[in-house]
Amino acid sequence: MQNRFPEASTELLILMSYLDPRDSFSKFNTHKLLRLTKLYLGGFTIIECMMLKDQLATFIYEVRDDDDFIDIGDLGGFARKMVETGKHAIFPLINRLIELELVLPVETASVERVFFSFNVVKTDLRKEMGDEWMNDSLVVYIEWEVFATIDNEVVLQRF
């Protein structure tokens, strides 16, 4: 894993595991989860981090003894159970942390997809391509499924 992912990504993945609901939150670690908030720049203010520390202590005490949270196997099920039980309103900062963790893989994949597309679109023959033309070309390349539904005759008639 060290060779495949940068150090920050590896740390982020490891820190995310401390909110794993399996085995009655056996990996739960307040200090590690607070470290996770520091990696989400702009996600939490200093005051929210202090409040989150208190929420985490109360939260783990409540959910470990709650029958609703016993058989949860993944973060998605954990997020659904938080909403079903109303704990998302009681522990809003923990809920935000869960939401950030659920969105992270999608965001990372989207960025990697754009960088891959950038290498395909901006070839040696297109070195001098302007920013606007590059942006338009990337949108067409990335969202090819949408553009595949458009009839070429309509485009030709328009332009």
- Domain boundaries in the chain? 7-107, 122-158
Identity of the amino acid at 124: D
How confident is the model over 94-115, as pLDDT tens digits?
A: 888 888 887 765 445 555 565 5
Please state, in angstroms and rounded to a whole number, the distance separating the CA atoms of residues 69 and 22.
9
Up-side HSE of residue 97: CA atoms within 13 Å toward CB?
31
pLDDT at residue 148, as a whole number: 79
- In terms of pLDDT, which residue wins out, 52 or 40? 52
**Nearest alpha-carbon partner for 21 in 81, 83, 100:** 81
pLDDT tops 80 at residue 28: yes
Report the 10 Å Cβ neighbour count for 78.
20
Query: What angle do the packed helices 92-121 and 30-39 form, to 10 degrees?
Result: 40
- Model confidence over 43-102: pLDDT tens digits? 788 888 889 888 888 888 888 878 888 888 888 888 888 898 898 898 898 888 888 887
In terms of pLDDT, which residue wins out, 18 or 50?
50
> Does the structure show a pLDDT above 80 at 3?
no
Q: First and final CA of the chain: distance in angstroms? A: 50
What does the pLDDT read at residue 119?
63
- Which SS3 state, helix, strand or coil, does residue 32 take? helix
Contact yes or no for 94/18 (Cβ under 8 A): no
CA 146, distance to chain mean position in Å, is 24
Residue (of 25, 45, 23, 31) closest to 96 by Cα position: 45
Distance separating alpha carbons of residues 14 and 9, to the nearest angstrom:
9
